[in-house]
């Protein structure tokens, strides 16, 4: 189940430069390396609740593609049922303590009108098969022999973490893992014992110490679990003062603001992680 913080934040300025295509049966935003350069790896983004049509997610895909010569797929794992951007506006009015109490009931109703259907239509049991089907087709596509990385945010974060587990869902028919590297930022609904406890693949996580979904106590517990996994490479970078959703939905209106810099640092964390993990795959 998602929480209200998963539906708050800002739509940021910028114009996406990628294109749309149907990839393994899903409508997909595709970002390619600049100037026709050869891709060095494939990144699949499992987005936040606002999905593939949210401009922030598309621009992030563009950044990954240009920063490190990645081919980036942002598939519609929500099958057209992502939360509309207006939900952020309604949530902002809901929590605005300076606003009129007369209008509060309207904004509560409007937010729940979008919030509740999203949770039902995109519950894990529905979305997980779409994610694994896409990745299995990608992995088994003989035209694509590149390493595969997963970047999961908020709603998509739990999917990313579970892709580090080792079971029939997370492997191809010949036993290969669906992902060579996994990055997640401020995941939602992750259980430390169950989800972090079963991690068997390398994982990088970006999280704020003021995250209202995964609190700092839970973060420390997850770090302790990961430290005990000697066969797994992991990193958990805690961003001081950052809130849930900061790497995607923090305002970037002021270029030198703390919010902007932390979002950019989380981008660099992901890119550096993928580069290092992909290099290791080459030498296996």
Reading the block at residue 274, the tokens are 């993928």
Q: Does residue 41 contact residue 274 with C-beta atoms inside 8 Å?
A: yes
280 vs 88, more confident: 280
Report the C-alpha gap between 196 and 161 in whole angstroms.
7
pLDDT tens by residue, 88-114:
766 665 556 666 667 777 656 666 667
pLDDT at residue 91, rounded to an integer: 65
Determine the Cα–Cα distance for residues 40 and 28; give it in Å rounded to an integer: 20
pTM to 2 decimals?
Answer: 0.91
Contact 32, 39 (CB under 8 A): yes
The 10s digit of each residue's pLDDT in 197-207 is 999 999 999 99
Q: How far apart are CA 184 and CA 201, in angstroms?
A: 13
> Could you give the C-alpha distances from 14 to 31, 60, 62, 252, 259, in angstroms and in order?
15, 10, 11, 10, 16
pLDDT for res 1: 42
Q: Pairing between strand 26-31 and 181-185?
A: unpaired
Residue 36's contacts (CB-CB under 8 Å, 6 or more residues apart) are none
CA angle 114, 119, 125 (to 5 degrees): 155
Does position 169 have pLDDT exceeding 50, yes or no? yes
């Amino acid at each position: 189940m998602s929480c209200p913080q998963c539906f708050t934040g800002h739509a940021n300025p910028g114009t996406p430069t990628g294109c749309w295509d149907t990839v393994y049966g899903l409508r997909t935003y595709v970002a390619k390396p600049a100037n026709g350069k050869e891709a060095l790896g494939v990144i699949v983004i499992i987005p936040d609740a606002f999905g593939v049509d949210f401009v922030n997610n598309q621009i992030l895909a563009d950044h990954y593609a240009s920063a490190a010569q990645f081919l980036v797929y942002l598939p519609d794992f929500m099958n057209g049922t992502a939360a509309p951007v207006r939900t952020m506006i309604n949530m902002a009015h809901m929590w605005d303590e300076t606003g009129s109490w007369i209008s509060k009931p309207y904004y509560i109703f409007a937010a729940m009108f979008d919030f509740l259907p999203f949770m039902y239509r995109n519950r894990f049991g529905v979305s997980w098969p779409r994610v694994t089907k896409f990745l299995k087709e990608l992995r088994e596509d003989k035209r694509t022999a590149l390493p595969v990385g997963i970047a999961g945010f908020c709603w998509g974060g739990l999917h990313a973490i579970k892709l580090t587990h080792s079971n029939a869902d997370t492997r191809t028919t010949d036993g290969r893992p669906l992902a060579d590297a996994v990055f997640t930022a401020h995941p939602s609904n992750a259980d430390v014992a169950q989800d972090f406890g079963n991690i068997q693949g390398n994982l990088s996580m970006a999280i704020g110490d003021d995250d209202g979904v995964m609190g700092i106590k839970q973060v420390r517990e997850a770090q302790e679990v990961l430290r005990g996994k000697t066969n797994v490479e992991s990193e958990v970078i805690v961003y001081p003062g950052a809130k849930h959703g900061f790497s995607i939905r923090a305002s970037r209106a002021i270029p030198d603001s703390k919010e902007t810099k932390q979002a950019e640092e989380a981008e660099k964390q992901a890119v550096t992680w993928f580069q290092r993990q992909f290099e290791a795959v080459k030498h296996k």
